Amino acid sequence: MYILTDTFNGCTISRHRTLEAAIRAQRRHLAAVRRANGSNSYLTYEITLNGERIDGERWEEAELSLDRY
């Protein structure tokens, strides 16, 4: 289970079965934050799988697969 966490506030935002779904949720959440608070607003996020942070090559592959569609 992939867990999307807001590390700025220290809270879990959502849980997902795929990395792509977690990245989509992160993008939607950030868009909502920017709509509510202005275009320069930001949060820091982390996606974990079994307690291990997802980054690097797996992250890039998932983002590329999302951008293709």
Helix (H/G/I), strand (E/B), else coil: 46: strand
Cα atoms found within 13 Å of the Cα of residue 54, Cβ hemisphere only: 22
Max distance between CA atoms of the chain, in angstroms, equals 34
pLDDT at residue number 26 = 95
pLDDT at residue number 45 = 95
Buried/exposed 1-21: b ≥16 CB within 10 Å, e otherwise: ebbbbbeeeeeebeebeebbb
pLDDT at residue number 69 = 58
Q: Where are the domains of the chain?
A: 2-67
**pLDDT average, residue stretch 49-53:** 91
**Predicted TM-score (pTM) of this structure:** 0.87
